[in-house]
C-alpha cells in the first residue's frame, strides 16, 4: 500500500516540432517525463527529409511535404503528439512597436491597425499576436511589443494540413 505513495509513475508528454523550408522538412520529436524534481527529456529524435520540388506554405505547394511528413509520423508512431511549427520569416510580419495604452482586450485590434501598412493581405484576413518586451530602465521610455501578423487563410491551411497527417 505504501508503494503507491512512494513510487509515482512518470507522466509522459510527447511533442513534435516542424520546420518547413524550401526543398526539405526538418523537425524533432521529443518525449518529456515529469518527475518529482522537474522534467526529464527521455527521448529526442531528429529528422531532415529532402523534398522534390520547392516548398512554401501556399496552398498548392505544400503537397510535396505531405507524403514525407505522413511517413515520418507513421514510422515513429507520432500520431496524436502535440505539434509546434516554426514558420519561415517570409510567412509572417514582425515589427517592434509601442504598446498601445489601452485595456488588454483592445490591444490586438490596435496593433492590427498599426500593422496594416506592412501586410499585403486584407485587414480582415489578418491574425495578430504580440509579445511584450521587458521594461526599459529609463522611466520615460514607452512600453514596447513585438507584434506578429499572418494571413489567416495561410495559418488555417497549415493547421489543417498537419492535423490530417495525424
Pairing of strands 82-86, 11-21: parallel
Residue 118 CA to residue 61 CA, distance in Å, equals 24
Q: pLDDT above 90 covers what percent of the chain?
A: 20
Please name which of 148, 119, 18 lies closest in space to residue 78, comparing C-alpha atoms.
18
Residue 35 CA to residue 124 CA, distance in Å, equals 45
Higher pLDDT, 4 or 130: 130
Residue 121 CA to residue 91 CA, distance in Å, equals 12
Residue 128 has pLDDT above 90, yes or no: yes
Say if residues 49 and 28 touch (Cβ distance below 8 Å).
no
Q: pLDDT above 70 covers what percent of the chain?
A: 66
pTM check: above 0.75: no
Residue 1 CA to residue 17 CA, distance in Å, equals 40
Residue 16 CA to residue 25 CA, distance in Å, equals 13
Provide the CB-side half-sphere exposure for 12 (13 A, CA): 10
Residue 17 CA to residue 30 CA, distance in Å, equals 8
Residue 18 has pLDDT above 90, yes or no: no
Question: Quick one: pLDDT band at residue 158, thresholds 50, 70, 90?
Answer: confident
The x, y and z cell numbers of residue 25, run together, are 522538412
Q: State residue 1's pLDDT score.
A: 42
Amino acid at each position: 500500500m505504501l508503494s503507491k505513495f512512494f513510487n509515482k509513475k512518470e507522466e509522459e508528454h510527447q511533442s513534435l516540432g516542424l520546420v518547413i523550408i524550401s526543398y526539405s522538412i526538418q523537425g524533432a520529436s521529443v518525449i518529456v517525463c515529469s518527475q518529482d524534481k522537474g522534467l526529464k527529456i527521455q527521448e529526442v529524435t531528429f529528422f531532415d527529409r529532402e523534398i522534390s520540388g520547392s516548398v512554401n506554405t501556399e496552398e498548392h505547394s505544400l503537397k510535396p511535404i505531405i507524403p514525407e511528413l505522413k511517413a515520418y509520423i507513421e514510422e515513429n508512431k507520432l500520431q496524436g503528439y502535440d505539434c509546434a511549427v516554426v514558420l519561415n520569416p517570409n510567412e509572417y510580419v514582425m515589427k517592434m512597436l509601442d504598446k498601445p495604452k489601452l485595456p488588454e482586450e483592445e490591444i490586438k485590434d490596435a496593433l492590427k491597425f498599426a500593422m496594416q501598412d506592412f501586410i499585403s493581405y486584407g485587414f480582415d484576413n489578418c491574425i495578430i499576436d504580440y509579445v511584450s518586451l521587458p521594461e526599459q530602465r529609463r522611466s520615460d521610455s514607452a512600453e514596447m511589443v513585438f507584434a506578429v501578423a499572418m494571413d489567416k487563410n495561410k495559418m488555417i491551411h497549415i493547421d489543417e494540413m498537419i492535423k490530417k497527417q495525424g
